[in-house]
A = this chain, B = another copy of it.
Amino acid sequence: MKRHVGIVGFRGYSGAELVRILERHPHVTPVLMEHRVDPDAPPFGWRPHPRVACTPEAVAAEGLAVVFLATPAEVSMEIAPAMLAAGAKVIDLSGAFRLRTTEVYERWYKEPHTAPALLAEAAYGLPEFCRSQIAAARLVANPGCYPTAANLAIRPLIAAGMVDRTAGLVCDAKSGVSGAGRKPTLKTSFSEVVENFSAYSIFDHRHTPEILQNSGLDEGELTFTAHLLPLDRGILETIYFRTRATRAEDLLAVYAGQYRDEPFVRLYPPGQAPDLRAVQRTNYCDIGVKLDGETGRAVVVSAIDNLVKGAAGQAVQNMNLVLGLEETEALL
């Protein structure tokens, strides 16, 4: 028997991707939950799905086991408590519950946190590192797209002491436009983006504290810069640091130890690096390493699809854990 799961924000890019993925899930039926924040735009796709209002009553009436919030942080903070109270588990794709304290949240998001009581219980939804907490959680904070690609690449190396932290680590990140959401803005208009490329939010991107919190790096050790690519989907991060390792194989061995049984992390042969094509429309994070042995300079390339492993795919991976289903269901 299929479980019903609700999706708030199904007209946005992440929400629509959620519907698409869940349409091929054998054990789950998506229920579209109408909410005022949805952009005034037709939903994607074709198959008819049940539609309900985004209310606690609908959670009960539809027997929703999980509700996905593909909504802005301020909306998630408003909806999440009500959905939890109605008995659903919540997987939130916004930044509302990713940071551990309201202080850090308010410093980087420049707005008050309106549901601080939930911060303590939210599990950070990076299954490769938080699998058991996710499986036990009522509320999962699905990671940001940049932090997913960054932390899968950085965290094992920090833990293994492979990064010279005094010299610092640079994460030069590039993202497709869908990461900015579906609300029309001048910055994401076609004629502004096509044949263009730019850096943005240098030193003050909201994803910075999320990378810090989960990578093991301290502030001041990480320089993170986001760039906007003239393409729709995908994030590629080029990561620079100094290491005591002398061969790419040394770093790859650390990754191999960490990710041996992980279905969604793929490692490249020494000296090779993924491009976006390799990961688009998949839930994979692909990682490659190149190293200059004489000087200990290392370059790691990490690539994901921002809407899949960086949002909806990872959210379904988390849902599978929360519901006790096969973790890879609908994702391979």
Chain A residues with a Cβ under 8 A of chain B? 13, 39-41, 46, 167-168, 170, 172, 174, 176-178, 182, 184-186, 188-199, 202-203, 220, 223, 225, 227, 229-234, 236, 238, 240, 242, 266, 271, 273-278, 280-281, 290, 292, 294-295, 297, 299, 301
Contacts and interface: CB of A to CB of B under 8 A. Distances in A.
A195 B195 contact: yes
B197 A234 contact: yes
20 contacts: A167-B168, A174-B197, A178-B191, A184-B185, A190-B192, A190-B193, A190-B230, A194-B230, A195-B231, A195-B277, A196-B231, A196-B276, A196-B277, A202-B273, A202-B290, A202-B299, A220-B295, A229-B229, A230-B230, A281-B281
Given A202-B290, A290-B202, A290-B203, A236 B197 contact: yes
B238 A273 contact: no
Contacts of A182: 186, 189, 191
Given A203-B290, A203-B292, A273 B227 contact: no
B190 A232 contact: yes
A236 B233 CA distance: 20
Contact of A195 (B188, B227, B280, B299): B280
A170 to B, nearest CB: 5
Nearest to A294: B220
Nearest to A271: B202
A135 to B, nearest CB: 28
A301 B190 contact: no
A2 to B, nearest CB: 17
A223 B240 contact: yes
Contact of A190 (B177, B275, B276): B177
A120 to B, nearest CB: 30
A189 B191 contact: no
A274 B202 CA distance: 12
Nearest to A187: B184
A197 B234 CA distance: 9
A276 B227 CA distance: 12
A230 to B, nearest CB: 5
B199 A273 contact: yes
Tell me which of A182, A266, A297 has the highest count of chain B C-beta atoms within 10 A of its own C-beta.
A297
Nearest to A240: B170
A198 B297 contact: no
A15 to B, nearest CB: 14
Contacts of A233: 195
A37 to B, nearest CB: 15
A48 to B, nearest CB: 13
| 5 nearest A-B pairs in the assembled complex, by CB-CB distance | A198-B275, A184-B184, A172-B172, A220-B295, A190-B193
A46 B265 CA distance: 13
A174 B189 CA distance: 19
A299 B223 contact: yes
